Amino acid sequence: MNDMDAAIQGKVDLWLQGNYDQATKEEIIRLQKENPIELTDSFYRNLEFGTGGLRGIMGVGTNRMNKYTIGMATQGYANYLKKSFTNREIRVAIAHDSRNNSRFFAETTANIFAANGIKVFLFQSLRPTPELSFTIRTLACQGGVVCTASHNPKEYNGYKAYWDDGGQLVPPHDNNVIKEVEKIASVDEVKWSGGEANITIIGKEIDEAYISMVRGLSVYPEIIEKQHNLRIVYTPIHGTGIKLVPEVLQRFGFSNVHVVDEQATPDGNFPTVIYPNPEESEAMSIGLRKAKQIDADILLGTDPDADRVGIGVKDKKGDWVLMNGNQTAVLAFNYMIEARKVKGLAQPNDMVVKTIVTTDLIDEIARRNEIKCYNVLTGFKYIAELIKEKEATEHYVIGGEESYGLMIGASIRDKDAVSAVALLCEMAAYEKNRGKSLYDKLIELYVQYGFYKESLISITKKGMNGQKEIADMMSAYRSHPPAAINGSPVVQLLDYELRTGKNLKTGESWAIGLPQSNVLQFILEDGTKISARPSGTEPKIKFYFSVHTTLANAADFDRVHAVLNARIDGVIQDMKLK
């Protein structure tokens, strides 16, 4: 038995002998007999409380999502809240999605906070993640938690931690909470019960306030009145969107909404999909079939916690196209900029925010409309942080990222698919009123501002060696950047971990004014941008590709699209990523 085996066995013995429930101990004994490899994976490390919280496979063990890993995380978070907000009542809000065990995890979290003397507002049943962010702000809470693993497969669950602005934890709070969680050495240090009187169940009253806020985001209600019969197909993909999206669309004035029945019931087993993610065409396929059947104008799908949205529209030939996150973001950003300007709602200090891996077409649209566009690290917590930093002097309009997330208006501080669905339907109504579709509008924008094409590859490295393989890959790119990719010289290397940019031709370097993050970007002479970023929540590394050129007219779209596709394919092949 080597040292690693001994360390794992020590953890297993601790769980078998300690204050863990009998069902947990019996499951460990079963794994010892039937699946020692699974047992090793369940205990070989502690499930890391990262800067966004916890996320992992459900099961027994230190490397799994269960009552005990969540309990220790909550105790550490409670300790930090009590250190940060002294001599006052501390309030937290708690929500959960449709995943298996999410309600149990949410109630466990609520009981521990309450036992620590913290006032808890727990939703009576599942709710979208963005409503949790809204609730923290509405009820003046100091923190919050939502139990969700977003779009991960059914085996997963997670625990997202929030701060008093309604955004996920950012420095210094994220690292400080991690330190407090790491101090909890035993489940015996967790206050499991005794404060039940501190828990208040919430529901409809918050729903109403949230729906009213979303309703206030509408720019063209008079257009919806004209186009109220817009044919909308919506799927919640077995998630929380069913709680609010149909109601919000009705309140906006849409009268022809078709919910995908096969995916309408919340179900943590996600029986109709492999991945409950609107980024996956397979997850949208049942909705697509219904959209074709009724000749819909727009198809929309939200992930289990309703913070991501995917859309489908018809192209010029009448064929259905699933838009990617960059295309959806371009349409949404442009609408909020353009429509607010036409309606006289635009303010001189308007600003929009995107992430460094989201299409630069948004930067170009903002620049031409003389609106500030800020770029932040990947994650809506950084958009929320920037709003907080700028809210005294600048007016936030919209933020977004390529991974199907939008955040419209400053009343929430996390991505919100509920309000995004409503505004995207309003945009479709606006274009239909012009005799056009959202697809037509996207091509108009390409002609006006430039044709930007993006693509993404995710490479998964599972198991104990996965993280090391990813780290080695990043280290090699960092120390030996390629001189050229796909025949075009690499002219700039942007290293967000070292927080420096470098001109590889002149040797000139400069500081990057963003927090440290393990991201590398290669800028090629032909304008191609390649970003490499290990995931913060999964054992995978993501490569983002962006190319662009001019588009003289809509008729030339197919030809130019093929050229840009070929350029991206050339880059991928040259980098040996396929």
What tokens appear for 527 in the block? 């304008």
Map residue 215 onto helix, strand or coil.
helix
Sheet strand arrangement including 350-355: 372-376, 350-355, 395-401, 405-408
**Which residue type, as a one-letter code, is found at position 216?**
G
Q: Which of 515, 543, 548 is nearest to 446 (CA)?
A: 548
Cα 215 from Cα 423, distance rounded (Å) = 9
Cα 416 from Cα 245, distance rounded (Å) = 11
Region of 370 on the Ramachandran plot (φ > 0 left; ψ -120 to 50 alpha; else beta): left
**CB atoms closer than 10 angstroms to residue 436:** 14
Q: What are phi and psi of 306, to 5 degrees?
A: 55, 45
Q: Which of 529, 318, 345, 543 is nearest to 437 (CA)?
A: 318
Q: Which of 318, 288, 298 is nearest to 254 (CA)?
A: 298
Cα 230 from Cα 233, distance rounded (Å) = 10
**Which residue type, as a one-letter code, is found at position 344?**
G
Show Cβ contacts of residue 555 under 8 Å, excluding neighbours closer than 6 positions.
none
Cα 178 from Cα 567, distance rounded (Å) = 43
Cα 333 from Cα 399, distance rounded (Å) = 8
Give yes or no for a contact between 12 and 39, defined as CB atoms under 8 angstroms apart.
yes
What tokens appear for 516 in the block? 């440290």
Region of 223 on the Ramachandran plot (φ > 0 left; ψ -120 to 50 alpha; else beta): alpha
Residue 146 is given by DSSP the state E
Q: What's the Cα-to-Cα distance from 427 to each of 65, 98, 227, 563, rounded to whole Å?
A: 40, 29, 11, 29
Specify the residue for token string 């075009």: 488
Q: Tell me the pairing of strands 529-534 and 520-524.
A: antiparallel
Specify the residue for token string 């005794």: 194
Cα 374 from Cα 394, distance rounded (Å) = 12
Cα 229 from Cα 433, distance rounded (Å) = 11
Residue of 42, 102, 133, 150 marked active site: 150
Give yes or no for a contact between 309 and 404, defined as CB atoms under 8 angstroms apart.
yes
Region of 61 on the Ramachandran plot (φ > 0 left; ψ -120 to 50 alpha; else beta): left
Map residue 94 onto helix, strand or coil.
strand
The continuous run of DSSP H or E covering 439 comes out as: helix 438-449
**CB atoms closer than 10 angstroms to residue 464:** 12
Q: Catalytic annotation on 437?
A: no
Cα 241 from Cα 151, distance rounded (Å) = 13
What tokens appear for 363 in the block? 């930067």
- Enumerate the active-site residues: 150
